[in-house]
């Protein structure tokens, strides 16, 4: 199937590019699906589970593992409801306490 791209106008060319990119994505998904089926078929034929080979609870798609909450490490003495895990940007109350002369170990839980 030969397409003479020189005869296409701007809109037709953009449409062709979009269709080609969409088809390319479809082919990639089909390829991944075929490989996945082959892997599972091989695992089944060998009598081995996915977890035994790769560990964990299965295939993780686009999500990070272990993104649960982190236990608090510091507590605001003025308001015990305010805590901080020690990760990320320091809360304002933590910085204020340090400026007031407190030490990190004084704020530790």
Lowest mean pLDDT among 1-10, 11-20, 65-74, 81-90: 65-74
Q: What is the pLDDT of residue 29?
A: 96
Cα separation of 70 and 91, whole Å? 15
Q: By the 8 A CB rule, do 79 and 93 touch?
A: yes
92: left (phi over 0), alpha (psi -120 to 50) or beta: alpha
Cα separation of 19 and 26, whole Å? 11
Give 47-73 pLDDT, tens digit per residue. Answer: 988 888 888 755 556 666 666 788 889
Cα separation of 16 and 19, whole Å? 5
User: Whole-prediction pTM value?
Assistant: 0.44
Query: What's the Cα-to-Cα distance from 20 to each of 13, 23, 27, 92, rounded to whole Å?
Result: 10, 5, 10, 52
Q: What is the pLDDT of residue 33?
A: 95
């Amino acid at each position: 199937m030969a397409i003479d791209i020189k005869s296409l106008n701007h809109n037709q060319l953009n449409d062709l590019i979009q269709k080609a990119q969409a088809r390319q994505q479809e082919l990639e998904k089909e390829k991944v699906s075929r490989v996945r089926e082959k892997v599972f078929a091989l695992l089944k034929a060998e009598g081995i589970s996915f977890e035994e080979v790769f560990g964990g609870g299965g295939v993780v798609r686009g999500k990070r593992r272990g993104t649960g909450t982190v236990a608090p490490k510091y507590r605001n003495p003025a308001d015990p409801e305010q805590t901080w895990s020690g990760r990320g940007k320091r809360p304002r109350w933590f910085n204020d306490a340090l400026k007031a002369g407190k030490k990190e170990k004084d704020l530790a839980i």
